[in-house]
Amino acid sequence: MASRTERARRARWHRGWWTGARRCPSPNHGARPPGTAVSLVVVHSISLPPGVYGGDAVERLFTNRLDAGEHPYYERLRGLRVSAHFLIRRRGDCVQFVSCDDRAWHAGASRWAGRDDCNDWSIGIELEGLEGDTFEAAQYRALVALVGALARRYPIGEIVGHEHVAPGRKADPGPGFDWARLGRALRRGGLALALPPSAA
């Protein structure tokens, strides 16, 4: 049986949907500005409730089905309309919510390389995790496979964290994310993508 990484390498694209991920379509998306090249990946971390892994709460949040009364933390998320393109679970399973040809609502008020509103030209990837906590080896492998697939389809040039495009407002994926490890894995895969200056 083929490994998850091997299956990811064989995966294909259909109108911005990657066959290496399970589809869970979100209504929270829009059109990218005409002529905008998708050149940035923004890495996030999320878990609901914070620090609890393995449930479907993130999927329910991104599809507007999260019951705010289910947990005290969810009350602060009431009425929130957000999404990311992908979620990578702790075991490396990948879920896609929005076509990469469309604009997901993941970065919010953001700025990178002198440009505002990173949602316009970026792909948002959520890692199931907690700011400051570490991430699993399977997640790094899945992230590298996904970024490789993205770089073969879109002119991706950089990977940054939410903390880099919204400093002071966001802190994910946080100090537990190993940018150096990601960089080494990307280079082994022949991907010469720029990382945040602090990751050098």
Q: What is the mean pLDDT of each run of 10 residues along the chain (200 residues)?
A: 57 93 98 97 98 97 97 96 98 98 98 97 98 96 97 97 97 96 95 83
Find the catalytic residue in 126, 128, 131, 163.
Answer: 126
What the block records as the tokens of 127 is: 């890692």
Is 126 a residue of the active site? yes
State which residues form the domain around 10.
4-199
**Coil/strand/helix, residue 178:** coil
The answer to whether 118 and 158 have CB atoms below 8 angstroms apart is no
Helix (H) or strand (E) holding 13: strand 13-14
Q: pTM, whole model, 2 decimals?
A: 0.94
With contact defined as beta carbons under 8 Å apart, do 46 and 117 qualify?
no
Domains of the chain: total: 1
Query: CATH number of the domain that 179 lies in?
Result: 3.40.80.10
* Residue in the block written with tokens 């492998």: 141
How open is the CA angle 195-41-133, to the nearest 5 degrees? 70
CA distance linking residue 165 with residue 128, whole number of Å: 19
Distance between first and last Cα of the chain:
37
d(CA 85, CA 75): 24
Give the sign of the dihedral formed by CA 60, CA 172, CA 90, CA 152.
positive
DSSP, collapsed to helix, strand or coil, labels residue 31 as coil
pLDDT number for residue 8:
57
